Structure 1
């Protein structure tokens, strides 16, 4: 019990705030004698006095009162009751907020270092691509881009017409391999990897009906490359396959280097095996780290294809080799096109590879060659604007942008099987994403514009439908384009909760994270894609709450050039 004061006339003693450390720790009164107080002298303690700084924020975050702020008195309680009367609420007037489901992929973390990097966009770009030199613009005239959205946007319904196509035969029987591990990897490649390389199960994957038969009948090196690819993909979920992946990949690379160093250059270039090995190694590096090494294979393939085309001759090994080479060339060219839409770098493959009249939907591309041709032209026009922002004011530039928009709106992507709804949806998804990309890269559209919001909602709806059908191929690029164009000031609801299942978020950002998690089993590098998306979100949010204008605003850069392009060097989205 507290002790009573004998002399009621004596004023209460105030708390000593300058006592020694031992007295304060023991909560006894210190007489502050120097060099040692009486309490420490009696107990034999070292008498030390120091000042300890206390911060109100630390106390508030811990839920504790700071200083005497939390001192309770009867008078203060009476005042609180008088000023804050109790309000009685009926049960009918109470509405409980539903607690959302939280998943492991739902967290976007930002540290103090991230905030410091967001002060300048150049710092982010240098971290995102420290090795590959991203195309930079020189000093430009301070001219703001006044390119407005062109009036050519019109609603359209996709028209799908049948066409005839060659249905490839089934691959031969699997060969006997030297170890059970290799046999398991080959089965994994055929059962797990090949089906996720095409959006529709109606069409056979070229990785199954072209590359696998060629590896079994003609090229042990290609077969070993397929095993390395399977081990690399499997190591994402099972680290026990990591060493096997590295060993097989090293053997394939050593074989390729040996041929290039010892054999005739033209003979090596004309052999389909060389191009196929480079394609598989390129896909291996994309799955593995998605750094500059996959671009090295891409540039090497360009030189190899150039030699083949200059020779104007194919080896006499049958029609299957021609189809195999054509697919390998298409693979590299498509990787180049889709990757450049994000970063705006110089092309590795020229736009003449694609025909603007190709309206047939390719089963592996998930769209038509005509759409890819339009993407090439959009990217090249965007590069012109990035080097000279003032060109957006020229009638020629505006006419070209409007012409590309008209071509996108009227594009017909025909599908061989009219009942193949999945391939039709995949082609329409890429066309919608291309329209969104055009408006942002050429017409100066921003995430807050209703046109952009509408396109983002449509893209996310199609992505959701394809994910429900188990499709993983071809979703990375459309999802990326929609994700980087989300308005940080609005929590976009792309669908009503009644239209989606319980485990699918109906708000844009949670859905993007959900979709990326679903794509973790694809043959793309989801880790890097998510990293860039998060950096774009953080940069947009930082600039919206900052009093300073974004980096590049005075130079006339549009929204895509300020926030997206500097972060996307060495990035594969195909």
Structure 2
């Protein structure tokens, strides 16, 4: 028999089941079970098995075709342990936190072991959810899934946009955001969902997309708003308001926001104490409505169209603590409210008759008392935002703006007045921050430290100095709607400095690009009208807030 006629051995095939490969037996490859596996009652499995380089190195086996095979010997040389070379670069997991990761999932993950892991994970997640604020308690009969899984594609997109694109910018602190920790769970809690609140969140997201130029959600903005108002009206008619109803009004600020605000303040009186799920939620409601009422009244001379509703802070509120939603303390907002009330009373008297010497003395005494309190007002950071220096800058900016507002509404003090010591204007530096952050926060003011007793020669010079200090504090602050009120006040001071005007208009434009809010657009219109009137020397007489599109939400 010639060499060619000899039977050639079959080449080694890489197909076949894993059971036959483990025993080095040629598989007959029948589907779905080969003969050997069927005869021995074995599980016949085919497919690819991935071997990672690091796994091979740890087990001390060859990786792929690595290793050596001697032709002189029938035995393969034992492969040496593969060392991970210098080209291996581990990837830190920090940069992938909160993002999707690729997982090497195999069919084993869907077997019996995988079910046990899933049950364990479900139990752990249930404990975590129940520990968060006590607002969401998943039912054991309901599978734990994404809260937006049951929504339509449009609703899912809009709710996700509100959670990711709107709510994070409504608070100045990343550690405390009531819109994410209180309002959103109240709307999406599947056990007792509040449909009007959910609909208003959808309307807000759709309206914001529309304002940013996306016309695809114009219809949804009106549709969800109509549903929210209809559901809210039903609760009010049945005199069974819930916390969700109050939260619905907090997010319903449209051009008719004064009506919503007045309704929210009255609804707070109707809301039973036990209806508020937590004290934090009630504090959020009070802060929102009271602050918007106070700051909204500062934009007009006579806020008669805003019906006066009695309101006050909670008994245990710290008046010195800076609120992360409004960017200032409750004590400062109380002083601002006193300025508006006193200025309105004075304006009403002057419209009917001239002030008597007794009236002048009474108003001047009250005015000087407010200014004295503003000079020594202390504002401190909350415990959950103790390291946020920007929050201190914003609070100090609003305190200085309140002094400007006082001077514009009630005039300068009678007689000679002296510039305040610079330390008074940087009083927000407490002892804890003096030695650590003095350079970063007080640097814009340090150049004037020698002018502790300079005589104030004119009211315009005093205003210009305060405006410079406000601009110095605001230059390093990010564009945020919380700066709207200081910019509005500076824009209505009536100074001729072009640098001041350019700064105010540029910041208003930047804030509008960040969030195209109606309040920002209207405030910008008022400031531009004030500048035009000043330029053409319009003989209007200086009456605060007599121009522009009515009452503006400046909180």
Band the TM-score falls in, shorter-chain normalisation: 0.5 to 0.7
Q: 1:168 deviation in Å?
A: 7.4
Q: 1:441 deviation in Å?
A: 0.7
Aligned to 2:550: 569
Q: 1:459 deviation in Å?
A: 1.8
Aligned to 1:556: none
Q: Normalising by structure 2, what TM-score?
A: 0.59
Distance 1:565 1:354, change over 3 A: farther
Aligned to 1:336: 293
**Match for 1:510 among 477, 480, 502?**
502
Quote the Cα distance in structure 2 between the aligned partners of 1:256 and 1:529: 29
Quote the Cα distance in structure 2 between the aligned partners of 1:480 and 1:516: 9
Quote the Cα distance in structure 1 between the aligned partners of 2:309 and 2:392: 27
Quote the Cα distance in structure 2 between the aligned partners of 1:523 and 1:363: 21
Aligned to 2:406: 438
1:397-408 to 2 correspondences below 5 Å: 397-408=363-374
**Contact 2:135 2:185 survives alignment (8 Å):** yes
Distance 1:189 1:447, change over 3 A: farther
Q: 1:358 deviation in Å?
A: 0.7
Q: Give the greater-gyration-radius structure (CA).
A: 2
**Contact 2:467 2:490 survives alignment (8 Å):** yes
String of CA shifts for 1:103-162, please: whole Å, max 9, x gaps: xxxxxxxxxxxxxxxxxxxxxxxxxxxxxxxxxxxxxxxxxxxxxxxxxxxxxxxxxxxx
Q: 1:564 deviation in Å?
A: 2.9
Distance 1:458 1:170, change over 3 A: farther
RMSD: 2.8
String of CA shifts for 1:177-210, please: whole Å, max 9, x gaps: 4212211111111111112112233x32111111
Quote the Cα distance in structure 2 between the aligned partners of 1:400 and 1:304: 33
**Match for 1:477 among 467, 485, 494?**
485
- Paired positions, count: 356
Does residue 461 of the first structure (1) align with residue 472 of the second (2)? yes
Distance 1:421 1:221, change over 3 A: same
**Match for 1:299 among 262, 268, 282?**
262
Aligned to 1:256: 232
**Contact 2:196 2:228 survives alignment (8 Å):** yes
Aligned to 2:196: 221
- Which range is displaced more, 190-199 or 562-571? 562-571
Quote the Cα distance in structure 2 between the aligned partners of 1:220 and 1:513: 40
Runs ≥4 in structure 1, deviation > 6 angstroms? 354-357, 445-448
- Which range is displaced more, 526-535 or 325-334? 325-334
1:241-390 to 2 correspondences below 5 Å: 241-261=217-237, 263=238, 265=239, 267-268=240-241, 271-282=242-253, 285=254, 291=255, 293-308=256-271, 313-315=272-274, 318-319=277-278, 322-344=279-301, 345-346=303-304, 348-350=308-310, 352-353=312-313, 358-389=319-350, 390=354
Extract unaligned runs of 5+ from structure 1.
Answer: 1-166, 286-290, 492-506, 553-558
String of CA shifts for 1:183-238, please: whole Å, max 9, x gaps: 1111111111112112233x321111110111111313312211111111121112
Q: 1:508 deviation in Å?
A: 2.0
Quote the Cα distance in structure 2 between the aligned partners of 1:195 and 1:444: 40
Q: 1:568 deviation in Å?
A: 5.5
**Contact 1:224 1:252 survives alignment (8 Å):** yes
Q: Normalising by structure 1, what TM-score?
A: 0.58
Aligned to 2:540: 551
Q: 1:570 deviation in Å?
A: 2.6
Structure with larger RCO (C-alpha < 8 A, sep 6+): 1
Q: Alignment partner of 1:567: what SS?
A: coil
Distance 1:523 1:405, change over 3 A: farther
Extract unaligned runs of 5+ from structure 2.
Answer: 1-130, 137-145, 414-456
